[in-house]
Chains A and B, each alone.
Chain A
């Protein structure tokens, strides 16, 4: 069995929504479009209050290379541009659009029926103007990933359908309901990069998806691989290791070893952009949790507020105690149900009073369970201590920056220490120190 080291087995909890076909959520009256929905510089708004906009119309100008625009998910009028709740847990500049319900569509993109006639450069440009960013959650701009630096040759493309986060089934439903679009999107990626090897990686708790994609891909040069269900199987570096045996060097990126990983949702979005001429204005979101009355996989316009989706799912059986954007392992707990869906929001998880436990950190008992499960071969307990004591030199020497923030260490810790939280804090401090060191020569 192909595998990576470490990892944990959280309860899967996917049965709530895995049999639920994707259903369209009606676009709401008011939509909230944060200008920053990706990693990198936020775009600059090119519309102003009172402007009439069409569905698919570009709203921002990307600021530099590592930046993508956002588009209007509905036709309507720009109500205002002001700071608003963002799933990252703070207020960020947001374009607020009032939906006129007319669904007028206009786009800079044109549908290209025969995409093989395009050059790789054309596809990269389309990915950028369509606002594509990794939809698995990290939201790294797709066109940047599609343009590896000079001299780096990518030979292997891995389509990520692992969906190792518990509860989430958005990618699974996409694979069942849109396999052709996903496969075309993947072929576009392979064509753009000139890659020979293609893998579709799916965890073995989704046999239906493995079956459908294997049938569709039989006789092609793309292999569907069923991977053991283990968290974080869907993490980029772990997937590459499990599939190719290659390890991304410390501080390196997948292109350093000729690999490219893309989420299935992003592949479908690339297909929509290239073949249908539709920018990224909607995505599938799993709205789930044991207290949700009708958990569902919803096709949602970006900018729809969480509370709208909760009412689409007929509300909850008890007042929600915790609201999480994303899955339970890496998702971010929200302070309000008014936050909007953005490109990287794969799910909304709602926990009741009993499930929403608050941990009480106790002293480390040096059991080393975090060391056993760390998929990056780090020593989480030590890194957390360095962060707690602001010992940044030791943190850096012990490769704190290699942490992928999967949270496996916190998950297993019997002392309930906030290991991954301390390490994330340490990473940002160490990153700042390295940056200022570089600036000072």
Chain B
């Protein structure tokens, strides 16, 4: 052993369970996949495109705001993806493509990042 060992001191417990935020979030994403598949079958590819736009703009908004605020970027931990998917699922399939972008921006920027 070294002459002057340095030890990490943290509070108990020193073991960690198997849950983490990404695991929980991606489990929810997985659970939403069948709905997305059925929506695409029912309403056509437009439903899928709307969802992808919503997801992408939610994650991008989160990453941008976290970059501006210089906090750790967690845009891909799954929670922004869920926000995007659920937002798209709540829209009619005929809405214009810019609408989910605005929705995701308001949801993430004002709802999540500003008020938590």
Tell me the chain B residues, 77-112 only, with Cβ under 8 Å from chain A. 79
Please determine whether A414 and B5 come into contact, CB atoms closer than 8 angstroms: no
Please determine whether A414 and B12 come into contact, CB atoms closer than 8 angstroms: no
Please determine whether A420 and B13 come into contact, CB atoms closer than 8 angstroms: yes
Which listed residue (B8, B16, B23) contacts A321, Cβ 8 A? Answer: B8
Q: How many angstroms from the CA of A293 to the CA of B96 in the assembled complex?
A: 66
Please determine whether B2 and A333 come into contact, CB atoms closer than 8 angstroms: no
Q: How many angstroms from the CA of A337 to the CA of B6 in the assembled complex?
A: 9
Is B14 positioned at the interface, with any CB of A under 8 Å from its CB?
yes
Which listed residue (B14, B17, B74, B116) contacts A324, Cβ 8 A? Answer: B14
A357 — which chain B residues lie within 8 A by C-beta? 16
| Residue in A closest to B7 when the chains form the complex, CB atoms | A323
Which listed residue (A311, A319, A349, A359) contacts B2, Cβ 8 A? Answer: A319
Is A330 positioned at the interface, with any CB of B under 8 Å from its CB?
yes
Q: How many angstroms from the CA of A415 to the CA of B21 in the assembled complex?
A: 6
Q: Mark B1-26, 1 if CB is under 8 A from A, else 0.
A: 11001011111111111011101100
Q: How many angstroms from the CA of A415 to the CA of B20 in the assembled complex?
A: 7
Which listed residue (B2, B10, B23) contacts A358, Cβ 8 A? Answer: B10
Known A-B contacts A411-B16, A415-B21; the reply to A334 vs B9 at CB < 8 A is: yes
Return A7 CB to nearest CB of chain B, in Å.
12
Known A-B contacts A321-B7, A414-B20, A414-B24; the reply to A337 vs B12 at CB < 8 A is: no
Known A-B contacts A320-B1, A363-B116, A414-B24; the reply to A10 vs B15 at CB < 8 A is: yes
Tell me the chain A residues, 64-93 only, with Cβ under 8 Å from chain B. 89
Please determine whether A421 and B11 come into contact, CB atoms closer than 8 angstroms: yes
Q: Mark A312-324, 1 if CB is under 8 A from B, else 0.
A: 0001100111111
Please determine whether B7 and A322 come into contact, CB atoms closer than 8 angstroms: yes
Is A328 positioned at the interface, with any CB of B under 8 Å from its CB?
yes
Q: Mark A276-311, 1 if CB is under 8 A from B, else 0.
A: 000000000000000000000000000000010011
Which listed residue (B5, B7, B21, B79) contacts A333, Cβ 8 A? Answer: B7
Q: Mark A204-237, 1 if CB is under 8 A from B, else 0.
A: 0000000000000000000000000000000000
Known A-B contacts A307-B1, A414-B19; the reply to A328 vs B13 at CB < 8 A is: yes
Please determine whether B12 and A336 come into contact, CB atoms closer than 8 angstroms: no
Return B29 CB to nearest CB of chain A, in Å.
14
Contact residues on B (Cβ < 8 Å of other chain), bracket: 20 to 34
Please determine whether B13 and A329 come into contact, CB atoms closer than 8 angstroms: yes
A315 — which chain B residues lie within 8 A by C-beta? 1
Q: How many angstroms from the CA of A337 to the CA of B1 in the assembled complex?
A: 10
Return B4 CB to nearest CB of chain A, in Å.
10
Q: How many angstroms from the CA of A327 to the CA of B10 in the assembled complex?
A: 14
Please determine whether A418 and B5 come into contact, CB atoms closer than 8 angstroms: no
Known A-B contacts A8-B17, A414-B19, A414-B23; the reply to A359 vs B7 at CB < 8 A is: no
Please determine whether A411 and B17 come into contact, CB atoms closer than 8 angstroms: yes
Known A-B contacts A315-B1, A316-B1, A337-B1; the reply to A418 vs B11 at CB < 8 A is: yes
Please determine whether A411 and B15 come into contact, CB atoms closer than 8 angstroms: yes
Q: How many angstroms from the CA of A11 to the CA of B116 in the assembled complex?
A: 34
Which listed residue (B5, B7, B8, B24) contacts A365, Cβ 8 A? Answer: B24
Please determine whether A420 and B1 come into contact, CB atoms closer than 8 angstroms: no
Please determine whether A416 and B8 come into contact, CB atoms closer than 8 angstroms: no
| Residue in B closest to A330 when the chains form the complex, CB atoms | B12
| Closest 4 pairs between A and B when the two form their complex, measured CB to CB | A407-B13, A421-B11, A414-B19, A328-B14
26 example contacts (A-B, Cβ-Cβ < 8 A) are as follows A310-B1, A315-B1, A316-B1, A319-B1, A319-B2, A321-B8, A328-B12, A328-B14, A329-B14, A331-B12, A333-B8, A333-B9, A333-B10, A337-B7, A351-B14, A363-B116, A365-B79, A367-B24, A369-B19, A411-B15, A412-B17, A413-B17, A414-B23, A420-B11, A421-B11, A424-B11
Question: Chain A residues in contact with chain B, CB under 8 A?
Answer: 8, 10-11, 89, 166, 307, 310-311, 315-316, 319-324, 328-337, 349, 351, 356-359, 362-363, 365, 367, 369, 407, 410-416, 418, 420-421, 424
